[in-house]
Amino acid sequence: MEAIKEVSMRVDLHTHSTASDGQYRPRELVKMAKEHNLSLYALTDHDTIDGIAEARLAALQYDVNFIPGIEISTQLGEEIHILGLRIDETTPALIQACEEYKKSRLSRGQRIIDYLNSLGIPITRNDLPEKNDGSLGRPHFAQYLQQNGFVRTRQEAFDRYLNTPAFHAATDRKKPTPQEAISLIHSAGGKAFLAHPGLLKMGKRWQESLIVELCEAGLDGLEVYYFKHTKNQVAFYRRLAIQNHLLCSCGSDFHGESVKPDVPFGMEIDADIL
């Protein structure tokens, strides 16, 4: 996987479909990639590869340069997301791991329901979208809270209910370490990237230490170009990528307008990328 040198291009290597917590089906996202003239497009659903087969077929239909991917939620002090790009979704170890992730997410989904019920919110499993059975995530619950008048905005749902110490104490699931996720991605022939490092709660010095630690485990790159990264953050992570001989990736983290209304599909960059 060679770097593309200083070429202006529209890409998106971080998107989510209905296979996890996105609004659009995989084939719809591929069609959007064609309509937005993306040079590269990747589907990276949370902890699942269920949408890749549909996306592959659509990519052939629409002549889209498609990259199969995944975003694995890991834990090392705080939650850290690792993107896997150019994975082989037929790899037995990856299939088995994703089945375990699915069971874990469904179990956690029931704990979230129980937690919200304890706060007087009468949500049931039937109130959640059937199309997302395989990968329940907090955005599904945020959408319910907003649509049913418990909060005014999605962010308020997280601030008041879905991202508090009490919530995490009651609902968090066991996650792999970043090192385990990197190893799994490599076993599937993919490249492992630290996703949206600018969202990490740790300071820059700790981030530098984390990246060095993950490099020792085989980290391949950083998601330098991310929708919410500032120009200063892009410069910082690009410098870290160069210093640590890492690839750069670019992604919007698109989930759909009804899930993350502030995140557009696709990004235009003028830099070295994956």
The domain spans of the chain are: 4-97+181-273, 100-171
- Span 83-110, pLDDT tens digits: 999 999 999 999 999 999 988 888 888 9
What per-residue confidence (pLDDT) applies to 126?
86
Quote the CA–CA distance of 82 and 233 in Å, as a whole number: 18
With beta carbons less than 8 A apart as the criterion, state whether 158 and 167 touch. Answer: no
With beta carbons less than 8 A apart as the criterion, state whether 29 and 55 touch. Answer: yes
**CATH number belonging to domain 4-97+181-273:** 3.20.20.140
With beta carbons less than 8 A apart as the criterion, state whether 109 and 128 touch. Answer: yes
Quote the CA–CA distance of 196 and 218 in Å, as a whole number: 18
Assigned token pair, 150: 């418990």
What per-residue confidence (pLDDT) applies to 270?
72
What per-residue confidence (pLDDT) applies to 271?
63
**CATH number belonging to domain 100-171:** 1.10.150.650
What per-residue confidence (pLDDT) applies to 4?
40
What per-residue confidence (pLDDT) applies to 179?
98
Low-confidence ranges of the chain (pLDDT < 50): 1-6, 131-133
Quote the CA–CA distance of 28 and 124 in Å, as a whole number: 29
What per-residue confidence (pLDDT) applies to 106?
84
* CB neighbour burial string for 187-222, b if at least 16 within 10 angstroms, e if fewer: ebebbbbbbbbbebeeeeeebeebbeebbeeebbbb
Q: Name the region of 266 (left: φ>0; alpha: ψ -120 to 50; beta: rest).
A: left
pTM: 0.88
Helices 52-62, 26-35: crossing angle, 10 deg rounding: 30
**CB within 8 Å of 237: residues ≥ 6 apart:** 197, 198, 222, 223, 224, 229, 248
Residue 178, helix vs strand vs coil = helix
